[in-house]
Structure 1
């Protein structure tokens, strides 16, 4: 192949790469606690005129040198899929991930305030239904989402996947090397104090969670305790809330999206879509 043809082929391939589907709309806002630090989020809007219900996705811990944060939901097509269903779909990069400034604090105040800032920004959009907002969090995102919902009675829906909700008893007797690694991350990010354990344990504040809540866990999860999913649901219900726990017997920490999606999609539609049927 001569050089002219190689250059033409390269130009054509580059053109194909530039004409792919957009991977969500990226934006940043200032972190409310720290001038000069930012919170990154991604969004995809429906084609309808609104008012739109909102689903906010919170990722879990990401290992490695490249930690894309909320961009994963854009890259995987999750935001686009939910936008096509009529939702304003938003994913947030937790502090220390993606383009969001650190530090990481294991779902502590700095992380919670980052999420709350994006929620406030989203609710300012006149096309949004501010009383029809749900949070879906996985692992660290589930811990964060539960804590945010404790302080925000206007969160209508909450989906918690593979989270921890009472840290002290779990960390006191870690059941696996993976659980010990979670404890080490907690200690390094928070100092491991009793106050840090208590303030990051959603079970302690379950009485204030007003959101309809679906809590999902794998029975074989070596990084969490599925009994805590049941305990959190029971505590929310005991204080007049509405919560359901579903433990998948055949799965561990990672429950495949295809396995859990049908249940979650029905729950979100029932909770946020005014004309949807009842799933629970």
Structure 2
């Protein structure tokens, strides 16, 4: 009995260590804004009850004159603001203002994430409000790109906010209720570290469960077929649901890719933004 108890205790310690190892790195570093003349701070705070969350963000300004389309990038584990700011230079050169934001619990944003809980939704909404409210942004041409847990935040934003006319969802979990029974151990440990996975909590975080009756937006879904954290079935199921609700959907499933798709997605992202933001005449300009 003593040996069994000791083994159980060791197993619990191993589980805790594994879960802890998956915590997003939040070590403050030198501001990357100083490396680029067209990058400004985009930090802000959001409050939920007595708790206040400080959100890390950067804005990459396009050199184009007048009001330009705006892209909000939500980083949630895959990628980070450093990578986002580097990537944003090419998108800004297309004539798009790009805001890179880390949702709570990631980058240097305070947390915890709580598996994309209410603070993440609040932060996403405020970031979109700030971007849309800028004098150099055309609020009628907005897009949101979410990576990892940021894709869940972007999807939940789409469920409640009709302003984004284009969304890019990368490597996300869109129906936690069906994910939980089949999730790999690493994913279950990650979820357990943040929330207790009751049906109510999982449904609250389900993009599919809250889709509006009708969607008038374009969505690009990208996912690695070898993703061992979030099965590609999550992306396939979301694509089917979005089409059923009227959205225009494009999908790219990368046969050899795992969870972090890296730079391979950039050509498809730029083409999608070109077709859905830049080729559309703004209401303000007409």
Normalised by the length of structure 2, the TM-score is 0.79
> What is the alpha-carbon distance in structure 2 between the residues aligned to residue 38 and residue 234 of structure 1?
36
Could you say what the CA RMSD is over the residues aligned between the two structures, in angstroms? 2.3
Q: Secondary structure at the match of 1:215?
A: strand
Q: Which residue of 2 is the match for residue 192 of structure 1?
A: 197
> Match for 1:37 among 38, 53, 58?
53
Q: How does 1:160-239 map to 2 (within 5 A)?
A: 160-174=169-183, 179-207=184-212, 209-239=215-245
Q: Which residue of 1 is the match for residue 148 of structure 2?
A: 139
Q: How does 1:71-110 map to 2 (within 5 A)?
A: 71-74=82-85, 77-110=86-119
Deviations 1:70-123 (A, max 9, x none): 34422xx11222212111011101112233222222112111111111111111
Q: Which residue of 2 is the match for residue 7 of structure 1?
A: none
> What is the alpha-carbon distance in structure 1 between the residues aligned to residue 38 and residue 68 of structure 2?
20
Deviations 1:105-153 (A, max 9, x none): 2112111111111111111112211121111111111111111111111
Report if aligned partners of 1:53, 1:130 keep a CA contact under 8 Å in 2.
yes
Deviations 1:39-58 (A, max 9, x none): 22100111122211111112
Larger CA deviation: 48-57 vs 21-30: 21-30
Normalised by the length of structure 1, the TM-score is 0.80
Report if aligned partners of 2:53, 2:110 keep a CA contact under 8 Å in 1.
yes
* Structure 2 residues not aligned, in runs of 5+: 1-33, 282-286
Q: Which residue of 2 is the match for residue 50 of structure 1?
A: 66
Q: Which residue of 2 is the match for residue 115 of structure 1?
A: 124
TM-superposed CA distance for 1:23, in Å, is: 8.1
Q: Which residue of 2 is the match for residue 157 of structure 1?
A: 166
Report if aligned partners of 1:31, 1:38 keep a CA contact under 8 Å in 2.
yes
Cα pair distance change 1:254/1:117, threshold 3 Å: same
Question: Number of matched residues?
Answer: 247
Report if aligned partners of 1:149, 1:210 keep a CA contact under 8 Å in 2.
no
TM-superposed CA distance for 1:251, in Å, is: 1.7
Q: Secondary structure at the match of 1:263?
A: helix
> What is the alpha-carbon distance in structure 1 between the residues aligned to residue 134 and residue 204 of structure 2?
31
Report if aligned partners of 1:69, 1:94 keep a CA contact under 8 Å in 2.
no
> What is the alpha-carbon distance in structure 2 between the residues aligned to residue 265 and residue 72 of structure 1?
16
> What is the alpha-carbon distance in structure 2 between the residues aligned to residue 196 and residue 20 of structure 1?
41
Report if aligned partners of 2:220, 2:272 keep a CA contact under 8 Å in 1.
yes
Cα pair distance change 1:220/1:83, threshold 3 Å: same
Report if aligned partners of 1:71, 1:93 keep a CA contact under 8 Å in 2.
no
Q: Secondary structure at the match of 2:211?
A: helix
